[in-house]
Amino acid sequence: MPRKVVQGPIRDKEKTKQKLLAAVGKILRVKGYSGLKVSKIAAVAGFDKKLIYEYFGSTEKLIDEYIKSQDYWSKVNQNIEVDLSDGGKELSKLALLNQFDSLKKNKELQKIILWELSESKPILRKLVEQREEVGDVMFKHITDPYFGEDATRYRAIMALIISGAYYLNLYTGYNASKFCGIDLKTDEGRSEIEKALVEIIDFAYQKK
């Protein structure tokens, strides 16, 4: 029986590519997008920078591949299963709470959102489009039919809630801990925000 080949050019190339991709993630978490320079990525991965050009073509393409591999928005909303007979009310609550909590934990995604706000790049526009596509599934198939002519109003409410949740996580992650006197670096403070998210959704459905 022939021995299984566990090493060789193809396997070594794939391992090297994965280490380079992992280096992008590490730098993004620690330094942010400004740290994603070819020499820094190569140093963190422990390889000569020429391998970045050999395996990916350019630093930009390496970063693009890393962002594509993360599938951020599907991860944020994964494993949410709920009865939809209420027109998506409970689904909206769970999705918002999950997103609020996930963004706090995901330092890479925080840096990506900051990057989106400061630069115009094709890969970042693609990521924004992916986020819209994920959200549009719920709107088009669940909440829009329920709210009918008030569907855009509900989308506007969700836009304000989601953007607020983003800002609060980014603000407390990089500057102060308190916003409107609520300490968002404590479980008690975050719990108050979470209760407010739920109350706003309940209010939106009561007004239907």
Q: Where are the domains of the chain?
A: 9-70, 72-206
- pLDDT at residue 200, as a whole number: 96
Query: According to the model, what pLDDT value does residue 80 have?
Result: 66
pLDDT of residue 28: 87
d(CA 15, CA 9): 10
CATH number of 9-70: 1.10.10.60
> In the chain, what is the straight-line distance between the N-terminal and C-terminal CA atoms, in Å?
69
Question: pTM (2 decimals)?
Answer: 0.75
Mean pLDDT by 10 residues, the chain (208 residues): 47 88 90 88 93 92 84 60 88 91 86 84 81 88 95 96 92 84 94 96 88
